[in-house]
A and B are shown apart, each in its own frame.
Chain A
């Protein structure tokens, strides 16, 4: 089964530290998303890429978050500096365009900032 791989699965860090989360999308998928799951907001879209180009990152706090796709097999989400309110589960998903197709999610990175 093809799967989206996210690393690390868990990350505990101190406030002010840099955090990098990585995602390996399914080979051949041209759209990659980053979501954050919180209790209050459910699944929030942070950013997405089509064919490695960023299409929308309006959901991200720009001063501290950045998302990139250095190549088709790797997407990264970086937080610098991290804050306790960033504690959440971060999901990466990949798929083919929009529409009726289901997108495949990774298992998530659980981030705790203390």
Chain B
């Protein structure tokens, strides 16, 4: 049972434009949401997180938005750069469990 879902396996965006990666979840008890970035042959690296009591968190070019009523979060990357090309995983935790989505492969075209 996939509690965290990323329905878009891939996304292509022109350099300089906005990249929007989406994630849906089913468990209303999740209290933190995180985004990880993964390059080939490397482990995922932590990117940004948001508490369930907030609806937005920003860190440089990366902003995460949380819509609890829709059980949806998104990661915005503005402006997108070729170095952002990677697989992005969203994750959610309850304090006792930690779940990842299946990932979205982002390609930023120069």
Query: Which A residues are closer than 8 A to B by beta carbons?
Result: 4, 33, 35, 40-45, 48, 55-56, 91, 93, 98-108
Inter-chain CB contacts under 8 Å: number? 67
Closest A residue to B33 using CB positions: A100
Query: Which B residues are closer than 8 A to A by beta carbons?
Result: 2, 6, 31-32, 34, 36, 41-47, 49-51, 89, 91, 93-103
CA distance A105 to B100 in the complex (A): 13
**With A42-B101, A99-B32, A100-B34 in contact, do A105 and B45 touch (Cβ < 8 Å)?**
yes
Inter-chain contacts of B91 with A (CB < 8 A):
43
Write the nearest CB–CB distance from B60 to chain A, whole angstroms. Answer: 15
B34 touches A102 (CB 8 A): yes
Could you say which of B2, B6, B46, B96 contacts A102, with CB atoms under 8 Å apart? B46
CA distance A56 to B102 in the complex (A): 21
Write the nearest CB–CB distance from B30 to chain A, whole angstroms. Answer: 11
Write the nearest CB–CB distance from A50 to chain B, whole angstroms. Answer: 10
Could you say which of B46, B93, B100 contacts A98, with CB atoms under 8 Å apart? B93
Could you say which of B6, B41, B49, B93 contacts A107, with CB atoms under 8 Å apart? B41
Inter-chain contacts of A41 with B (CB < 8 A):
2, 102
A42 touches B100 (CB 8 A): yes
A106 touches B93 (CB 8 A): no
Of all A-B residue pairs in the complex, the 10 with the closest CB atoms, nearest first, are A102-B46, A105-B43, A42-B102, A43-B100, A100-B49, A98-B93, A105-B44, A98-B95, A100-B32, A107-B43
Inter-chain contacts of A105 with B (CB < 8 A):
36, 43-45
Given A41-B102, A91-B43, A108-B41, 5 new contacts (CB under 8 A): A41-B2, A45-B97, A99-B95, A100-B34, A106-B43
CA distance A43 to B84 in the complex (A): 20
Can you list 13 A-B pairs, Cβ within 8 angstroms, ordered by A? A4-B43, A42-B100, A43-B100, A44-B100, A55-B96, A56-B97, A91-B44, A98-B93, A99-B31, A100-B49, A102-B46, A105-B36, A108-B41
